[in-house]
Amino acid sequence: MIDKKKLKKLFPNLTEEMEKGASKVHIDKYRRHADQEDHLTTRRWAGYSPEAVDFIRRCESEEQAEEIISYLERRGKITAESASELRKRLREEGLEGFGGKKVSDFYNREG
């Protein structure tokens, strides 16, 4: 626990406000900056965990997709059977077989 003297030294303005008594602050407006995430979009994807196909859809080449599949298999995120199915699909259909390419801010753009 911190003593009052140390608190006053560390946080003089806060201590002064506390001693005077709390005052309410009313916020009339909220300004959203362009670089802030839209909270509604963020909520839509809250708790979503990307799957192998989500990662593959970001790849620039089939070689990158193969690396992703191998990595996920090594890490135990997908089974050997799933990895084999993904590789077969990649060989037969190419990257297009997994859907359109996802851009880097895909989850912020989708609303």
**pLDDT tens sequence for the chain (111 residues):** 778 888 788 888 877 777 777 666 565 655 555 555 555 455 666 677 788 998 999 899 999 999 999 999 999 999 999 999 999 999 999 999 998 887 765 655 554
Contact between 59 and 68 under an 8 Å Cβ cutoff? The reply is yes
Q: Would 56 be classed as within a structural domain?
A: yes
Q: Would 68 be classed as within a structural domain?
A: yes
Q: Would 75 be classed as within a structural domain?
A: yes
Q: Would 42 be classed as within a structural domain?
A: no
How many separate domains does the chain show?
A: 1
pLDDT for 5 equals 86
Residue 18 CB-half CA count within 13 A: 8
pLDDT for 90 equals 96
Q: Would 25 be classed as within a structural domain?
A: no
pLDDT for 2 equals 77
Containing structural domain, residue 84: 49-94+101-109
Q: Would 85 be classed as within a structural domain?
A: yes
- The per-residue DSSP string of 7-24 comes to HHHH-HHHHHHHHH----
pLDDT for 101 equals 84
Q: Would 57 be classed as within a structural domain?
A: yes
